[in-house]
Structure 1
Amino acid sequence: MRCSLVFLLLASALSGCATMPPVSGATVPGVLLPWPAEGQAAIEVEGVGSLGASGEPNPVPIASVTKVMTAYVILRRHPLRPGDDGPLIKVDRTAADESHTLRESTAPVREGQRVRLRRMLELMLVPSGNNVARLLARWDAGSQERFVERMNATAHRLGMSSTRYTGVSGNEDSTVSIAADQLKLAKEAMRDPVFREVVAQADTAVPGDARRLSNTNTLLRRHGVIGIKTGSGTAAGGNLMWASHVRGRLVLGVILGQASGTNPAAAKVAALEVGGKMSAAVEQWLLNRW
């Protein structure tokens, strides 16, 4: 009976997936998941191991998933504890001017405004403010170029051999990676309690501004999902780094290259749909196993 229930759940989760791409790297045999029919993906469960990977591991643009590394480097250089808002950061003219563009996702910060580091991280990760990512890079390293050097050095230290960062926001198609590399970063980033708190937030706001800025990750609170970051672009397609907590175990997944070449908004929806199916299937597998 138990096997029948698992089969029915997985069959339901698979609906809408055109194919089941070859899966490699699994350390747990016999786990069937609704892998995406395009792009690439990888999933790992804390204390269990890899549930496998799909797609060709070729470096591809990752769009705003880039901001996970930006946040990770910032928090390693300027550690925060839960309840600690950190130093004040002054908004420069560049960040304020960039907030008015319609060509990319931004946060409506104002020139001369002083915002705590914790809130800056929220504005970068929750509504995906590109202007705030670049502001944090200038604040930390003096320039975006120097900060990118720190990002690449960190990627090298983490063994992300197929990753190359050329910017801090993900707006550059030349920033490329693979799902397996981003999974390594996800594991490291989620060890930081402040990072975990920020990516789990449903929304945030610029101080003094009543407008609530929603998290781009609409999977939050579903199937135990507690983060992490979306990313989308015409070349990148829809990307998602996600985390869930099921039966005391941390599940981490990365999905890249969904509906690439289409409208970025539609591509993001495609990635979230795949992420929803995969997180639901993993949740049910864990609930049935433990």
Structure 2
Amino acid sequence: MKKRLQKIVFVFLASLLAAGTFQLPKKAYAQDDINVHAKAAILVEASTGKILYKKNADQALGIASMSKMMTEYILLKAIKEKKVSWDQKVTISDYAYKISQNRDLSNVPLRQGGKYTLKELYEAMAIYSANGATIAIAEALAGSESNFLNMMDKQAKAFGLTHYKFVNSSGLNNADLQGMQPDRGDATEENAMSARSAAKVAYHLVNDFPEMLKTSSIPEKKFRPGTKDEIDMKNWNWMLPSLVYGKEGVDGLKTGTTDYAGYCFTGTAEQNGMRVITVVLHATNAQGKGGYKARFDETSKLMDYAFNNYSMKTLYPKGYSVKNKKTITVKAGKEKQAPIVTEAPLKAPIKNGESHMYTPVVKLEKQQINAPVKKGTSVGTLLAKHKGGQEPGYLYGPDSPHVDVVVKNGVEKANWFVMMMRGIGGFFSGIWSHTVGSWF
């Protein structure tokens, strides 16, 4: 009898599942374990800032030469704002000269008092992680490296970084700066940053200045070719497609290595129309030993996870309107309601097979707006909420894919006659409702 009852229940549930009238509970979000061997790591889709994976993402750790990403950003911003130019000549200080002569560090030898263009110094920094060149750039932009640190702090604040510390522009240990380091921190301190903060710097680099990828992707270049100062600059990013750990689509970004920081790497790659940013801090192999190969192996894991499991999808097209949220009330307008639609397509990196797991939700800044209203006026945001539970979030903004919602058509202000007639209509409507209501 018991077995027969179990069989009946099984058949009943199976029929409900087949008919689609019964669903098993949806599993809440749980991050996939991809076993990244690093003290901290993060994986982000570059256009939206959506976090696809994170591990200990908010602990400030050593970043070594990954610090140069911030120096790059500040330089590129100064170029864009025409405060400096690529062909501007920089005179090499004693400080930058002495550091550049240390071949135990990554450097292109600079001449004391010599003149170099910002373009030459930038390429030496971005491709070869040249430390003397980095100091020369900092001095050119701020007058001194100490002043440049203030610029770094200001930019970090603008980026919303919360877990970081800058004691120099290059990312070297202060002990390597021969007593010439800025007056910040002790003689053996280094720069530190969380994986999330490093990803934010990279996010701004690739989105605000995508042209920088043309430089970061150069595998090898000669510094000052045809002169006595000629030197081969080989990119430390060995994941560039033509190098030893080459991977399809990799075109940046910045390595870092010191005893304190271990082996670090902020990478970026694009495949099938999706770009990702990766950060690994203090990467090791499975036995816990750090190395050049380890940081690239762990980065490769993150990239493979992203490209094998996610793709960019258009969840809602431009001009999309949500049922029951198709309009917004317009006060004193010729029309009392204005249609509202998405300003742009809502695109997001979606895990394979989960497009149906999102539902549109409109969040209006106000429940009504005042006429006149221009076409394209932003009134709120369309979010794509995941039905299965909380996602790992975004570097910036709401923790869901989102796009602005705008007024589809402009609404002019109603004239005095229309407003008067509406007032009269409202007056008599109120009397009618009150009188008829009192009869019953």
Answer whether TM exceeds 0.5 for this pair. Answer: yes
Deviation of 1:47 (Å): 4.3
The Cα offsets for residues 62-84 of structure 1, whole Å up to 9 and x where unpaired, read as 10000000111111122289xx8
Q: 1:41 to 1:206 in 2, by over 3 A?
A: same
Q: Contact between 1:204 and 1:212, CA under 8 Å: does it hold in 2?
A: yes
Residue 53 of structure 2 is matched in structure 1 by: 52
1:111–1:254 distance in 2 versus 1, CA, 3 Å:
same
Question: 1:273 maps to which residue?
Answer: 297
Moved more, 175-184 or 205-214: 205-214
CA drift at 1:253: 1.0
TM-score where L is the length of structure 1: 0.79
CA contact (8 A) 1:138 1:144 kept: yes
Does the 8 Å CA contact 1:137/1:147 hold for their aligned counterparts? Answer: yes
SS at match of 2:41: strand
Aligned ranges 1:134-173 → 2 under 5 Å: 134-172=135-173, 173=189
Paired with 2:302 and 2:125, the residues of 1 have a C-alpha distance of 26
The answer to whether the 8 Å contact 2:57/2:196 transfers is no
For residues 220 and 29 of structure 1, what CA distance do their matches in structure 2 show?
Answer: 33
Tell me what 2:194 maps to: 178
Contact 1:121 1:198 in 2 (8 A): no
1:286 positional shift: 4.1
**Which structure has the higher relative contact order (CA within 8 Å, separation 6+)?**
1
Deviations 1:34-90 (A, max 9, x none): 342331001111348210201363211110000000111111122289xx8432223
2:235 maps to 215
Q: Distance in 2 between matches of 1:111 and 1:194?
A: 31
In structure 2, give the amino acid aligned to 1:206: F
Shift of 1:93: 3.8
Shift of residue 144 of structure 1?
Answer: 0.6
Which residue does the alignment assign to 1:200? 217
Q: Residue 133 of structure 2 aligns to a residue in which SS?
A: helix
For residue 212 of structure 1, what is the amino acid of its counterpart?
Answer: D
Among 204, 210, 214, which residue is 1:188 paired with?
Answer: 204
Deviations 1:11-51 (A, max 9, x none): xxxxxxxxxxxxxxxxx957746342331001111348210
User: Is residue 37 of structure 1 aligned with residue 37 of structure 2?
Assistant: yes
2:435 corresponds to which residue?
Answer: none
Tell me if structure 2 keeps the 8 A contact 1:39–1:55: yes
Distance of aligned partners of 1:114 and 1:56 in 2 relative to their CA distance in 1, 3 Å threshold: closer
CA distance in 2, matches of 1:254, 1:186: 9
Please tell me whether the aligned partners of residues 123 and 205 of structure 1 are also in contact (alpha carbons under 8 angstroms): no
**Per-residue displacement from partner, 1:86-126 (whole Å, max 9, x unpaired)?**
32223334333322214422112223443222221110121
**Residue identity in the other structure for 1:251:** V
2:127 equivalent to 1:126 = yes
Letter in 2 for 1:190: V
Q: Name the structure with the higher helix share.
A: 1
Structure 1 counterpart SS, 2:254? strand
Percent identity between the aligned chains?
Answer: 21
Deviation at 1:156, TM superposition (A): 0.9
Q: Secondary structure at the match of 1:58?
A: coil
Letter in 2 for 1:226: D
Q: Are the structure 2 counterparts of residues 123 and 30 from structure 1 closer, same or farther at C-alpha, using a change threshold of 3 Å? A: same
Contact 1:33 1:281 in 2 (8 A): no
Which aligned pairs between 1:65-80 and structure 2 lie closer than 5 A?
65-79=66-80
Aligned-partner SS, 1:252 = strand
* Structure 2 match to 1:16: none
Larger strand proportion, structure 1 or 2? 2
1:249 aligns with 2:265: no
- Structure 2: gaps spanning 5 or more residues: 1-27, 174-188, 242-246, 312-350, 354-440
Alignment of 1:40-119 (within 5 A): 40-45=40-45, 46-47=47-48, 49-55=50-56, 57-79=58-80, 85-119=86-120
Q: Do 1:109 and 1:206's aligned partners in 2 also have CA atoms closer than 8 Å?
A: no
Assess if the C-alpha contact under 8 Å between 1:35 and 1:278 holds in 2.
Answer: no
Q: Deviations over 1:120-179 (max 9, x none)?
A: 111012111111111111111111110011101110111101111111000134311100
Whole-Å Cα distance in 1 between the matches of residues 264 and 38 of structure 2?
A: 12
